[in-house]
Structure 1
Amino acid sequence: MDRRQTAAEAGVAASEQVFPDRRVGAVWEPVRARCYAAAGEYLSFTDELDTAEATSAPVPDGPARADALVRRLHEAARGVDEFYHAHRAGLEHAASVRATVPQLLTQVRAEGQRALAAAESSGFGGYPSVAAGVGRLNEALRTASSVDPQTEVAAARAAAAEVQDATAELSEVLAQAPSRATAATNALASVTTRLAAVRNRADALGPAYSALLREFNAASSADLTDNERQSRHDIEAADRELVAARGAAAAGDPETALDLTATARTHLTEAEQLVDAVTRRLELLRGVRADPEAQARTVRFRLRDAQMLAVDRGLVGEWGSVLDAQAERLDRITAGLTGRHPDYWAYVTELNTVADFIGGVVERMRKHIATDNT
């Protein structure tokens, strides 16, 4: 029993160190306690037998007690066997892993040191990604050096994994570093071209906004008042980022140049959206003015489709009045186009609101139909 218990306890100790989340020790504890209780009873009984032999005194119920003790010893040993067989694979795996941790830690630390040496001799140490990778790996190596793989197995494995990850990350950025300069050159050329194009498009914003004010109700462009100023602000911001990117590239820092060109692109995207909002508004309102009923017809067509769906699926009682109310709403919207400068933008906005509402009703009807079919 002692030999079996010793083997099991060694496996449990390894499991608790390597895989503490498995909590094998909690399962082992009552088995272990039964072994200790049986062993203690055995030692007490043998002491009593030795004393009885020395004094020639009888042992009360000696044979019966001996039989009972043997049974308990067998039961304790059987409990150890059952526990070990039930958890054997995990215990042996834990013992194997624990045995390899010192070697693993030594290996990954050596690989990490080689990666640091490669970074130092690469000529790319000034790149932000390389500097960050070196910093992370150095920190991981310091942690790995502070743990004892014999007594802190779980911590040692975690430290080894962190060193491996940091080494892989540094190796990757070193592999990518030679292509950064070319990427930065291409990005600078691309953003320079785009900046010129956005400036040309922005020149059309002022005339387009003036046309909106001349041709349409002032409310039709009230939300666009600040677009010209804001677009020029974004263009100037993009230009500043581009100048800084050129400086970074010239200083041998293409990664910073790439970051700055990415920021410049964001500013240019925002400027384009501001410019397009004005020019597209003018185009849209001119189209509505030329044929005000065109958009209303589209919405009425969607409404008829929705009403037909309600009829076909027997949903008139639930949605018929709701859809009829939208027809009346459309009539009021179209009737509102009066005066010398009707508010075409409000007209379009209200039509879109009705169209969205009808779309929501159709979606709910379809969900209802799908539920009934299931």
Structure 2
Amino acid sequence: MTATRILGKLIGPALLLPAVVPVVAAVAISGAFTGGGTRRWGRGRVEDLREEARRAQGETAEAFYELELAQRGMQLSLETIRAVDDGPQARKAFADHAAFAERIDRANHEYISLMDSHDVESADLDATTASRARHDFTRMRDELRRAKEDLERFGQSLAPLVERAEQELARVAPAVERAKRALLEATRALDTVREAGLDAGDSAADLAALAPELRLLNEGAARHGVQPTLTRAEEVTRRAGEITARMTELPRRAEEVGRRLTSLRTRAEAITTRAGQVGPTLSELRRRFSAACWQDLQRVPDEAAEAVAGARRTLDGVERARREQRWDDAADGITEAQALLARTDELVSTAGDRLRRLNEVSFDASKEIERTRFAVRDAQRLAMVGRAVPEPRHAERLDGAVERLDAAVAALERGGRNPDYWRFLMETKAVRDIAGAVVEDIRGKGR
């Protein structure tokens, strides 16, 4: 028999109920407190672990992103160095970075695997799994942060190399811009020449040949290197500048050829007119002076006529070259025509100058004699400056000049009515040349 039944028999049913109810209630309350409270506390702990796991995952993702940014910055720095420097320090930097790259690749793969293995947003995530996820993400976060810090320290060690490379690269952009501007100017100059109806085929071909160089410049120093890019830019600038100069010069050159052609034709006409006077001049020389005074001029009329005819033929060739826009040939023809006309002018002038000088000396030879004696005396005075006697070599030459002048004067006086005035003039000129040579010698020695 149970204790309750015994108590029931002893005290009766009416008195038993109140005692039993509090006991049952107490047991119920106690059970409710213990069991219910434990279940609520467990759910809260799981949520806390889930939140910590999610937080750790977010921090890890942020560390991964920051490492990725640091790695991209490092790549840019290395590309900057590579574009400029291939020396020992640069090669060591590339080798050291390769080790970093392997480490970062391993960390990235581990991070991706970790992200795939933990779903912290799952509703079924239990406390154990959440705790493991938090631990794994925290470890991964710390590893990524350490990698970033090490990479940043490595980047700081590269600062001098990067700075030098950036300074070199800073030269590239202006050089490339100058090259492009030079090409644009050459293109515009070519268009202007074509609009003027002038042929610029050679220059157009030269400009087209620069197109591949422009493409290489556009690809940049990062691909082709700084020094090759600078050299290419300078070469393109130079060649484009030459094309621009030619195109700019071409209209002026065409105009100059036309102007000089007209001028030379006018000059040829004038010289032709003057050449027609050589015959009468020679006739007067023959009539008034001895043969020795004009015999060497006998061929002047024929030579002058030949020179003028040659100049005219050359100018016709210049005209053809001008129409065909063969500017070099036109310039050569102009030079040749100028030389022929100058020769003709000299020939024509020779006859007239001979007649003028012979007229002067035949009218009054004393002026020529006095001019020559003055030159000799001036040289003699200079030879005596600071000396009791002149140097023998100077004295001998000046004495010889005096004797030569006296002989020329005597020959002129012996010539009678038709002396050799031309020989007399040649002798006096020779005497003045001797005196002048002595003066130059003395002055040169003094210096």
TM-score by length of 1: 0.61
Shift of 1:95: 5.2
1:295 partnered with 2:372? no
Q: State the distance in 2 between where 1:324 and 1:262 align.
A: 47
- Pair 1:138–1:259, CA change in 2 (3 A): farther
Query: Quick check: 1:360 aligned with 2:360?
Result: no
In structure 1, distance between residues paired with 2:372 and 2:426: 12
Measure, in 1, the Cα distance between the counterparts of 2:213 and 2:386: 68
Please say if residues 104 and 160 of structure 1, whose CA atoms lie closer than 8 Å, have aligned partners that are also in contact: no
Residues in 1 aligned to 2:162 and 2:346: alpha-carbon distance in whole angstroms: 64
Identical residues among aligned pairs (%): 27
* Superposed displacement of residue 273, structure 1: 1.1
Separation in structure 2 between the aligned mates of residue 179 and residue 157 of structure 1, nearest angstrom? 33
Deviating more after overlay: 192-201 vs 339-348: 339-348
Question: Cα distance 1:97–1:351, how it changes in 2: closer, same or farther (>3 A)?
Answer: farther
Instruction: Judge which range, 334-343 or 354-363, deviates more.
Output: 334-343
Q: Look up the SS of the partner of 1:124 in the other structure.
A: helix
- 8 Å contact from structure 2 (residues 408, 428) kept in 1: yes
Q: What is the CA–CA distance in structure 2 between the aligned matches of 1:343 and 1:228, rounded to whole Å? A: 23
Q: Which runs of 5+ in 2 are unaligned?
A: 1-79, 90-159
Residues 172 and 230 in structure 2, CA contact (< 8 A), matched pair in contact too: no
What CA RMSD, in Å, does the superposition of the two structures yield over aligned residues? Answer: 4.2
> Could you list the per-position Cα deviations for residues 129-169 of structure 1 after superposition, in whole angstroms to 9, with x for gaps in the alignment?
x4554455556666787899677766654443332223223
Aligned to 2:390, the other structure's residue is in SS state helix
Q: Which residue of 1 aligns with 2:353?
A: 280
What residue number does 2:424 align with?
347
Work out the CA distance in 1 between the residues paired with 2:264 and 2:208.
37
C-alpha distance in 2 between matches for 1:305 and 1:131: 65
Whether the 8 Å CA contact 1:188–1:242 is kept in 2: the answer is yes
In the alignment, is residue 118 of structure 1 matched against residue 188 of structure 2? yes
Q: Tell which structure's C-alpha radius of gyration is larger.
A: 2
Partner of 1:210: 283
CA distance in 1, matches of 2:205, 2:431: 58
Correspondence list, 1:1-374, <5 A: 98-100=168-170, 103=173, 106-111=176-181, 113-115=183-185, 117-124=187-194, 127=198, 130-134=200-204, 137=207, 157-180=230-253, 182-249=255-322, 260-314=333-387, 316-318=389-391, 319-337=394-412, 338-339=414-415, 341-368=418-445, 370-371=446-447
Q: Is the contact between residue 193 and residue 251 of structure 2 (CA under 8 Å) also seen in structure 1?
A: no
Q: In the alignment, which residue of structure 1 is the partner of 2:111? A: none
* Residue identity opposite 1:352 in structure 2: K
Q: Which moved more, 1:313-322 or 1:287-296?
A: 313-322
Q: 1:207 to 1:121 in 2, by over 3 A?
A: same
TM-score scaled by length of structure 2? 0.52
Contact (CA 8 Å) 1:212, 1:282: kept in 2 or not?
A: yes
Measure how far apart 1:234 and its partner are.
2.0
Moved more, 169-178 or 257-266: 257-266
What is the alpha-carbon distance in structure 2 between the residues aligned to residue 97 and residue 234 of structure 1? 66
Give distance in 1, aligned partners of 2:194 and 2:336.
Answer: 23
The alpha-carbon deviation at position 349 of structure 1 amounts to 1.8
Letter aligned with residue 198 of structure 1? I
- 1:112, 1:137 within 8 Å by CA — same for their partners in 2? no
The count of residues paired between Structure 1 and Structure 2 equals: 289
Unaligned runs of 5+ in 1: 1-9, 18-24, 33-87
The CA distance in 1 between the partners of 2:437 and 2:244, in whole Å, is 53
Instruction: Indicate how the Cα distance of structure 1 residues 160 and 94 shifts in structure 2: closer, same or farther if over 3 A, else same.
Output: farther
Helix, strand or coil for the counterpart of 2:194?
Answer: coil
Change (3 A) 1:108 1:348: same
Relative distance call for 1:362 and 1:151 in structure 2 (3 A) is same
The Cα offsets for residues 295-316 of structure 1, whole Å up to 9 and x where unpaired, read as 1211101111222233343263
Q: Which residue of 2 aligns with 1:38?
A: none
Amino acid at match of 2:438: V
Deviation of the 1:94 alpha carbon: 8.1
Q: Aligned pair in 2 of structure 1 residues 312, 164: CA closer, same or farther (>3 Å)?
A: same
1:64-100 per-residue CA deviation (whole Å, 9 max, x = no partner) reads xxxxxxxxxxxxxxxxxxxxxxxx9xx9998567435
